[in-house]
Structure 1
Amino acid sequence: MTSTADYIGGMTWGWTGIRGTWTGPRAERSMELMAERLNVNWTAVTLAALQDHAQATEINFREAPTVTDDEVRHAIRKAKELELKVCLKPVVNCANGTWRAHINFFDLDVPCEPKWSDWFASYTEFILHYAQIAEEMGCEMLCIGCEMVQTDRREQEWRQLIAAVRSIYSGIVTYNCDKYQEGEVQWWDAVDVISSSGYYPIDAWEEQLDRIEQVVAKFDKPFFFMEAGCPSREGSQYIPNDWGLSGAPSEETQRRFYESMFEHSDKRIWVGGFMLWDWPAHLYEESDAAANDDYCMYGKQAEQTVRDYYISKIVEANKEGAAK
């Protein structure tokens, strides 16, 4: 990921990874349609495991509703059959609905209180489990965390985790920081690629890209948006991270957001691509697309926008690769 020759034209597949949904004809057809309709060259196979709440210290990744290891292997294998590069992305969620960004503990371990040391021990076990699968299955990239805002300050623990991951996984390692947090992570030097969630208002992209560019220059690392997208819903272009925003379905809103995001990002050669959000394992019927107000662009206007953009970027990448 140092030039357009390494461009990531990707889509997130399978969220949240509910047990029983990642195998069978419906799931396989979903991934086939993603590849066909969007012309992606990458996918982030993305699953969630649960801890009970934001101050719990045990991540229950072997239990339902998390997908089984066989389901994870099946999804990776299917993506490889479609000639896609794969980023395996295990994510932790809170079972009580609290957003993972609020997972937090006292800075100092205190007896009789939940502790960072206990949480990171469980989180490390969780990530290393999937790092082993990523190595076994030949995944080109592993994402070791997603939008863990309150954990970002725990630099020593993250560095220790990354070192442990590298002892068993030989591919690209990245961390997906949350929107606006790119400058808050002080351990970007430990990963191979900086990535973040690009849920920026449609009229704020130049400002935010200016800010992110300083971080990329400081650490001299490749960069891409591990997440980016907008619901097909009126008003979502101004707050694309709010999946619960009230508003009528609007394909035009989603399409305009993607057009703007791509236009602004194209001016920055350091933006190495997108892993857009998102494409479920079980798709809605295409005839219902106009009434669907979620992030998935299957059958919507933005589908063609994404396809055309990825085709142009991948053609550009192929030309650059051939010239080298």
Structure 2
Amino acid sequence: MKKIKFLIWVLILQSCSGQIKKVNGVSFVASRERINQNHVSPIVNLNANYAAIMPFGFLKEVNSPNIIFNTQRQWYGETEQGAKQYIKELKKQKIKIMLKPQIWVWRGAFTGLIKMNNENDWKTLETSYLEFILKYAKLAQELKVDIFCIGTELETFINNRPAYWKNLIKEVRNVYKGKLTYAANWDEYTRTPFWAYLDFIGIDAYFPISENKTPSVEDCLEGWQTHFFEIKENHEKFNKPVLFTEFGYRSVDYTAKEPWKSDRSMNQVNLKAQANATKALFEIFWKQEWFAGGFVWKWFHNHERAGGIDNTRFTPQNKPAQAVISNQFNMDY
């Protein structure tokens, strides 16, 4: 019975086709330095057509109200000047852009837990975040960026201040005329209250899909079933295309069990697990006409030194998963 259900599921996937051109993107990691054509050419060679540029703002704690951003103490690529230079260099080689300003809490605390202790601090955070986002929304408009992301994995902030976020969207639309999204965590997107006001349902797609050490493509396809239909249902509810604002897997054992984990104790290299999980995601979603595409997490500018067969991190660079991605990005439906 399980095999029959799986075969029916595969037939459902195969019957779906539609939108010809997807967002075939990479999440381009900010560095200390300027980039040039040599840093962009590997993205072109990957057959990618988009890159997410990610300037950063910083909070000292999850209850700190003041966002520190665009300072000389930051890496070049994390600043307004750096983001501008990266975008211009990428656009020279016909790579489209999603500008995705993000918050980082020192010591890596999860941004979804950002919550203020009192009303005054909430007001301070709201003012600070508006300044942060509008700075980059104006840059997005200046450089004619294709997609702008208004935030990443900020569920508690949104839950506590829903009216603020709807007003934020209005403020952004006053200065930026392109497409808008928000990057909701995989376990957050069904509760995000403002999809109706955006152009894409954005999901950081770290869904758990297999508990196997080296999941096969078939394992991962089966593990996607419940998530797939929930995502499709959310698309139908709002009649908005779905965009994976981040997706990817580490090249480690059990990579598909809890894909969001970046725990350095997970140190057993497993290139096949990463490649299989990536291939399954493509097989399911890239065939759907309601699915807009997505951005691989993550891609470093120094391609010749990034990743490699001994690397356990998310990047697919110089690993078998890179070929899986390149082949998919080269397809049209």
TM-score normalized by structure 2? 0.85
Q: Which residue of 1 aligns with 2:291?
A: 271
Following superposition, the deviation at residue 29 of structure 1 comes to 2.7
Moved more, 117-126 or 96-105: 96-105
Q: Does 1:31 align with 2:40?
A: yes
Q: 1:235 to 1:4 in 2, by over 3 A?
A: same
Question: What secondary structure is seen at the aligned counterpart in 2 of 1:158?
Answer: helix
Question: What secondary structure is seen at the aligned counterpart in 1 of 2:26?
Answer: strand
Question: What secondary structure is seen at the aligned counterpart in 2 of 1:115?
Answer: helix
Following superposition, the deviation at residue 284 of structure 1 comes to 5.7
1:151 corresponds to which of 131, 154, 157: 157
Question: What secondary structure is seen at the aligned counterpart in 1 of 2:167?
Answer: helix
Question: What secondary structure is seen at the aligned counterpart in 1 of 2:288?
Answer: coil
Q: Deviations along 1:111-154, whole A, 9 cap, x unmatched?
A: xxx53222111000000000111111111111010011212322
Alignment of 1:106-185 (within 5 A): 109=119, 115-153=121-159, 154-185=161-192
CA–CA distance in structure 1, aligned partners of residues 21 and 320 of structure 2: 27
Between the two proteins, what is the percent identity of the paired residues? 23
2:49 corresponds to which of 29, 41, 45: 41
Q: Does 1:12 align with 2:31?
A: no
**1:138 partner letter:** K
CA–CA distance in structure 1, aligned partners of residues 301 and 229 of structure 2: 35
Alignment of 1:9-88 (within 5 A): 9-14=24-29, 17-18=30-31, 20-21=32-33, 23-24=34-35, 28-36=37-45, 38-63=46-71, 64-66=73-75, 67-88=78-99
Q: Deviations along 1:12-38, whole A, 9 cap, x unmatched?
A: 102xx35x33x045xx533321221x2
Q: Which residue of 2 aligns with 1:258?
A: 278
Q: How many residues align?
A: 299
Alignment of 1:212-291 (within 5 A): 212-244=231-263, 246-266=266-286, 268-283=288-303, 285=305, 289-291=308-310
Following superposition, the deviation at residue 7 of structure 1 comes to 1.5
The unaligned stretches of length 5 or more in structure 1 are: 317-324
Asked if the contact 1:35–1:82 (Cα under 8 Å) also holds between the matched residues in 2, the reply is yes
The unaligned stretches of length 5 or more in structure 2 are: 1-17, 211-222
- CA-based RMSD: 1.8
**2:19 partner letter:** T
CA–CA distance in structure 2, aligned partners of residues 167 and 152 of structure 1: 21
Following superposition, the deviation at residue 62 of structure 1 comes to 2.1
Q: Does 1:206 align with 2:198?
A: no
**2:283 partner letter:** E
CA–CA distance in structure 2, aligned partners of residues 293 and 194 of structure 1: 30
CA–CA distance in structure 2, aligned partners of residues 74 and 62 of structure 1: 14
Following superposition, the deviation at residue 208 of structure 1 comes to 0.7
